[in-house]
Amino acid sequence: MDDTQRLDGNKGKVLNALDASATCKRVIDVCASTFPAPQQIPLPHQHHVCTSFSVPSSTWLAMTRQLLSSIQTLTFYDNELTAARRGKPIPQLTCQGPACKLYKPEVVRCKNAGGEGVDIDWTCEADLPEVLRFGRVEVGCEGWSGPGDPYVYKESCGLEYRLVHIPGTLSDDQYDPFASRSHSTHLPHFYYPKHANL
């Protein structure tokens, strides 16, 4: 057998060194996205493909830490959870107020409108019925080292919003009050402690 070839005992087929390297990389990518901190991780059947690997601290930080002001867009989904580093995940979307019983958007998209540190302005859009609009909106992310840190844990941001009725449309019978429309609001980033302290 050529010394550039390896035998995969599980599948009984020969892998050349290039295939083995590619397989090892795929396993590393999966493990690196699963484990929360850099560490030495033995791979299954390590004598077949590769022995072990470690995720460099700089690589792990780049994978999990992000400067809030560098985030250009945030997309939030109903019934989905955020990522969390020190606590439990929270809902990506949290609706406040009685209007939430009538309707909740499935997706809300927010764009970075400028700012620095944790004081970022966000322009948010969602498909809402004609009778509803956004009220107060708060975006909160888990600070990497704690509240006020301009670096945040990736995918830890959540959106808390309030839906309010538009009085003028409630008495208008000329159109379907629940016709879908895109509604946007331009509101600042609010760094609220109950999310930041996760």
Of the pLDDT bands very low, low, confident and very high (cuts 50, 70, 90), residue 165 is confident
CA angle 114, 122, 192 (to 5 degrees): 110
Q: Which domain holds residue 139?
A: 65-196
Calculate mean pLDDT across residues 176-187. 46
| Residue that is last in its domain, among 55, 78, 97 | 55
Picking from 59, 179, 186, the residue whose alpha carbon sits closest to that of residue 129 is 179
Quick one: tokens of 23?
Answer: 């397989």
Beta bridge partners of 77: 107
Assess whether 150 and 108 both reside in one domain.
yes
Assess whether 76 and 168 both reside in one domain.
yes
- The model's pTM is 0.58
Of the pLDDT bands very low, low, confident and very high (cuts 50, 70, 90), residue 62 is low
| Residue that is last in its domain, among 55, 75, 94 | 55
> Is 71 part of any domain?
yes
Of the pLDDT bands very low, low, confident and very high (cuts 50, 70, 90), residue 137 is confident
Assess whether 47 and 90 both reside in one domain.
no
> Is 188 part of any domain?
yes
pLDDT 10s digits, 2-60: 444 443 444 444 334 444 444 444 444 444 444 444 444 444 444 444 444 455 566 75
Picking from 158, 154, 142, the residue whose alpha carbon sits closest to that of residue 78 is 158
Query: Is the model's pLDDT at 143 over the cut of 50?
Result: yes
- Of the two residues 194 and 145, the one the predictor is more confident about is 145
> Is 60 part of any domain?
no
Query: Is the model's pLDDT at 153 over the cut of 90?
Result: yes
> Is 84 part of any domain?
yes
Assess whether 22 and 104 both reside in one domain.
no
Beta carbons within 8 Å of 178's beta carbon, 6+ residues apart: 103, 129, 130, 131
Assess whether 76 and 124 both reside in one domain.
yes
Assess whether 47 and 26 both reside in one domain.
yes
Quick one: tokens of 68?
Answer: 């809030």
Assess whether 110 and 149 both reside in one domain.
yes
Domain count, the chain: 2
Assess whether 49 and 74 both reside in one domain.
no
Assess whether 31 and 128 both reside in one domain.
no
Assess whether 106 and 44 both reside in one domain.
no
Assess whether 109 and 178 both reside in one domain.
yes
| Residue that is last in its domain, among 17, 35, 55 | 55
CA-CA distance, 130 to 112, in Å (whole number)?
25
Assess whether 79 and 134 both reside in one domain.
yes
